Amino acid sequence: MSEKHKCFISFKMVDEKYKKYIQDELSVEMIDKSLNEKINSADPEYVMRVIRRDYLRDSTVTIHLIGERSGENDIFTDQYYIKKELQASLSNSSLSYKSGILGVVLPEMTDKIYTGSHVCDTCGGEHRYVNINGNTVTEFSYNYFIPNEKCAWADDDRYCILVKWEDFIISPNHYIDLAFEKRSEPIADKTRVRPK
């Protein structure tokens, strides 16, 4: 049995059914730190203070649901809360430690993110292409593709974990554990909270 991790689920309201599925239908060994009721305020800074203080402060893994409305390429949707939640999750402070970040690609995004493979001009090998730039927020994509001097990224070169929804629901504890373990790996020292 997996260790129970304190998990916060970051999501857009349009994807709430997936959040509820994780909470109500999956056999997940987690202590749920998710926001389940709207914070009654029109002030986004106040809302984020409450989220940091009451939900993210002692969480250890943030599950970022990647749907059609959670990317910076979506000009119709403001990503303020997702960006701030991931920034808080990536921060070490006197109040909390950095969380592991688990990106779960929802079914409607699978073909937009996993777009096949290509032969590398540098090494001649075949690399899988993962199109997350623009399909999520920079806080996730930068820490998934942390700059390196290589032509590709191995698991040790990434801080964020990325998984398709259909794989996540088969073994959620495995992927949550992987994200939690990243906190103590050397790559954790290379993350950026507010990447440009």
Written as one string, the DSSP assignment of 10-67 is: E--GGGHHHHHHHHHTS---EEE----S--S-S-HHHHHHHHIIIIITT-SEEEEEE-
d(CA 1, CA 91): 29
Q: For residues 164-183, give the mean pLDDT.
A: 97
Which long-range CB contacts under 8 A does 71-77 form with residues at least 24 apart?
71/134, 71/135, 71/136, 71/137, 72/134, 72/136, 72/137, 72/138, 73/134, 73/135, 77/12
Whether the Cβ atoms of residue 159 and residue 190 lie closer than 8 Å to each other: yes
Whether the Cβ atoms of residue 8 and residue 56 lie closer than 8 Å to each other: yes
| 154 CB-near residues (< 8 Å, 6+ apart) | none
Average pLDDT, the chain: 90
**pLDDT for residue 57:** 85
State the residue for tokens 């991931």: 86
d(CA 64, CA 161): 10
pTM: 0.92
d(CA 103, CA 106): 9
**pLDDT for residue 10:** 93
d(CA 154, CA 123): 14
> Would you state the structure tokens that stand for residue 178, as one six-digit string?
């992987």
Whether the Cβ atoms of residue 71 and residue 32 lie closer than 8 Å to each other: no
Q: How confident is the model at residue 97 (pLDDT cuts 50, 70, 90)?
A: confident
**pLDDT for residue 180:** 97
Q: How confident is the model over 120-173, as pLDDT tens digits?
A: 888 888 988 999 988 899 999 999 999 998 888 999 999 999 999 999 999 999
d(CA 147, CA 127): 16
CA-based R_g, the chain, Å = 16
**Could you give the percent of the chain with pLDDT greater than 90?**
57
Whether the Cβ atoms of residue 63 and residue 9 lie closer than 8 Å to each other: yes
